[in-house]
Amino acid sequence: MTTETAPTGPSAKPAQSHELTFAGALKANMRDYGLLLALVLIMLFFQYFTNGVLFKPVNLTNIILQNSYIIVMALGMLLVIVAGHIDLSVGSVSGFIGALAAMLMVGWRFPPELAFLANPIIAGAICLVAGAAIGAAQGYIIAYHKVPAFIVTLAGMLIFKGLSLAVLSGKSVGPFPAEFQLLSAGFIPDVIGPITTPFIAENGNPVVLHTTTMVIAILAIVGMVFFSIRTRARRKARGYDVEPFSLFVIKNVVITALVLFFAYMLASYRGLPNVLVVMGVLIAGFVFLTKRLTFGRRIYALGGNLKAAALSGVKTERTTFYIFAIMGALAALAGMIYAARLNSATPKAGQGLELDVIAAVFIGGASALGGVGQVAGAVIGAFIMGVMNNGMSIMGVNIDWQQMIKGVVLLAAVFFDLYNKNRSA
């Protein structure tokens, strides 16, 4: 034992890095790959049974637009569930914020002297703050007064469901300003200008690509490959084991191919939807938050063992409070995306969404006991639900059957997860 405080240098380590075996590394990441594989299989399944409609550029774009608000909320719900709580209010809160957005921007029941608030940016900011405040209020009761989240947010669900009804007097209110609609219906501008490819689309015309979308995708791929090479090199230099080179290459090639494929699909329609940009930034931010920020680490710690986390100096109450505030803000964003998509606020907006959001997080491998769950899992889980909704609708499956099938998939996913865990224990 030496006197240094936090030994951070690589000095102590003899640089002797090993490559893990291919099978070993594959097994260690089985869960993550398995989930992605499930998504791909489900997509192929529907591609076949919808006679190729699923992978049409316009439909893939639609899937993203239809699920954006679920994914946005799933990010927050992941934190909530990892912390060992639940939030049943997010659907109603998102609906209520939609109504608030209508008040501000459509001028519904709003004093005309405050009309300057109708600017979509100001109104959007107000909505986000309102959502965060609602989340914070619930979080305050949960964190500091120890009322179970299930009960607090169940109450919140009823309250905000009622509030949106009251605010909208049971009517649909719209339309929203065009700028606001862009949030859901807009695509990024093609600043570079379209290019015509030698490929021929189904309608006999050559495929015209949204060049900016392709450039962004390629930049993203380059960045990703650069970072994974750098991480690998740094681990190796410090003498830590790394995954085998073959697997490393395969992984990067597969991801590159997938990203290119989807980018090509989107680019051959209208390009990158604005909402996908928002989602992409949020997803990257939440991956960073959960993996690298001390705040994220503390969430996992308190979800895993609240008492031990508290005795390690984690401010468990404050952390819980922040989590719910973040959740509220995301529910608000989702509510705006939803309202912008429908181009009106309706009293029914958001109802039942919480169930899809929670299901997505659990399909993604989070534990109902807290302490376990990944952002990537929640996002893939949301896409699994989304693709199933989309595919079944195209196939003309009745809504009653759709519900039942989704229920079975949720159960099967969690069951399979637990089964795997027990077997490896």
Partner 1 sequence: MSKTILEMRSITKTFPGVKALSDVNLDVREGEIHAICGENGAGKSTLMKVLSGVYPAGSYDGQIVYQGEEQHFKSIRDSEHKGIVIIHQELALVPLLSIAENIFLGNEQARNGVIDWDETRDGARKLLSMVGLNEDPDTLVTNIGVGKQQLVEIAKALSKQVKLLILDEPTASLSEKDSQALLELLLEFKKQGITSIIISHKLNEISRVADRVTVIRDGRTIETMDTNQITEDRIITSMVGRSLEDRYPSRDANVGEVVFEVRNWNVFHPQHRERQVIRDVSINIRKGEVVGIAGLMGSGRTEFAMSIFGKAYGQKISGEVHLNGQKVDTSTVDKAIRNGIAYATEDRKTYGLNLIDHIKHNITLANLFGVSKAGVIDDLAELDAANDYRKKTNIRSSSVYQVTGNLSGGNQQKVVLSKWLFANPDVLILDEPTRGIDVGAKYEIYTIINQLAAQGKAILVISSEMPELLGITDRLYVMNEGRIVGEMPTSEASQEKIMRSIVRAEGKAS
7 binds partner 1 (CB under 8 A): yes
Q: What is the sign, positive or negative, of the torsion defined by CA atoms of 139, 141, 143, 146? A: negative
Q: What is the nearest approach in angstroms of partner 1 to the Cβ of residue 289?
A: 10
Cβ-based nearer residue to partner 1, 306 or 394: 306
Q: What is the nearest approach in angstroms of partner 1 to the Cβ of residue 226?
A: 17
14 binds partner 1 (CB under 8 A): no
Q: x/- binding map, residues 263-302, to partner 1, per CB under 8 A?
A: -----------------------------xxxx-xx-xx-
How far does CA 392 lie from the centroid of its chain? 22
Backbone φ, ψ for residue 238 (5° rounding):
-85, 0
d(Cα 3, Cα 234) in Å, to the nearest integer?
26
10 binds partner 1 (CB under 8 A): yes
Q: x/- binding map, residues 353-372, to partner 1, per CB under 8 A?
A: --------------x---xx
Q: x/- binding map, residues 405-424, to partner 1, per CB under 8 A?
A: -------------------x
Q: What is the nearest approach in angstroms of partner 1 to the Cβ of residue 255?
A: 20
Site for partner 1 in 239-268 (CB under 8 A): 240
Cβ-based nearer residue to partner 1, 121 or 425: 425
Q: What is the nearest approach in angstroms of partner 1 to the Cβ of residue 291?
A: 8
Stretch that binds partner 1, among 91-99, 136-144, 313-321, 348-356 (CB under 8 A): 313-321
Q: What is the nearest approach in angstroms of partner 1 to the Cβ of residue 422?
A: 11
Using CB atoms within 10 Å of the CB of residue 135, give its burial: 0 to 12 exposed, 13 to 18 middle, 19+ buried: buried
Site for partner 1 in 124-183 (CB under 8 A): none
Number of residues that bind partner 1 (CB under 8 A): 38
Binds partner 1 (CB under 8 A): choice among 198, 307, 396, 400: 307
Using CB atoms within 10 Å of the CB of residue 305, give its burial: 0 to 12 exposed, 13 to 18 middle, 19+ buried: middle
- Tokens 């862009």 label which residue? 182
173: β partners: 345
Using CB atoms within 10 Å of the CB of residue 131, give its burial: 0 to 12 exposed, 13 to 18 middle, 19+ buried: buried
d(Cα 251, Cα 10) in Å, to the nearest integer?
28
Binds partner 1 (CB under 8 A): choice among 31, 235, 251, 270: 235
Q: What is the nearest approach in angstroms of partner 1 to the Cβ of residue 131?
A: 24
311 binds partner 1 (CB under 8 A): yes
Q: What is the nearest approach in angstroms of partner 1 to the Cβ of residue 393?
A: 38
CB atoms inside a 10 Å sphere around CB 219: 10
194 binds partner 1 (CB under 8 A): no
31 binds partner 1 (CB under 8 A): no
Binds partner 1 (CB under 8 A): choice among 238, 249, 408, 416: 238
d(Cα 234, Cα 222) in Å, to the nearest integer?
18
Cβ-based nearer residue to partner 1, 171 or 292: 292
Q: What is the nearest approach in angstroms of partner 1 to the Cβ of residue 8?
A: 4
CA angle 39, 45, 50 (to 5 degrees): 125
Q: What is the nearest approach in angstroms of partner 1 to the Cβ of residue 35?
A: 19
Asked if 81 contacts 290 with a C-beta cutoff of 8 angstroms, the reply is no
d(Cα 364, Cα 291) in Å, to the nearest integer?
16
d(Cα 22, Cα 250) in Å, to the nearest integer?
11
Binds partner 1 (CB under 8 A): choice among 174, 315, 355, 414: 315
Stretch that binds partner 1, among 145-153, 160-168, 303-311, 328-336 (CB under 8 A): 303-311
Asked if 274 contacts 182 with a C-beta cutoff of 8 angstroms, the reply is yes
Q: Which of 60, 59, 76 is nearest to 334 (CA)?
A: 76
d(Cα 89, Cα 157) in Å, to the nearest integer?
4
232 binds partner 1 (CB under 8 A): no
Q: Which of 227, 234, 272 is nearest to 251 (CA)?
A: 227
Q: Treating both helix axes as pointing N-terminal to C-terminal, what angle do 375-395 and 399-424 enclose, rounded to 10 degrees?
A: 150
Query: Strand 195-200 to strand 206-209: parallel, antiparallel, or no bridges (unpaired)?
Result: antiparallel
**Residues contributing to the site for partner 1 (CB under 8 A):** 1, 3, 5-10, 12-13, 234-235, 238, 240, 292-295, 297-298, 300-301, 304-305, 307-315, 367, 371-372, 424-425
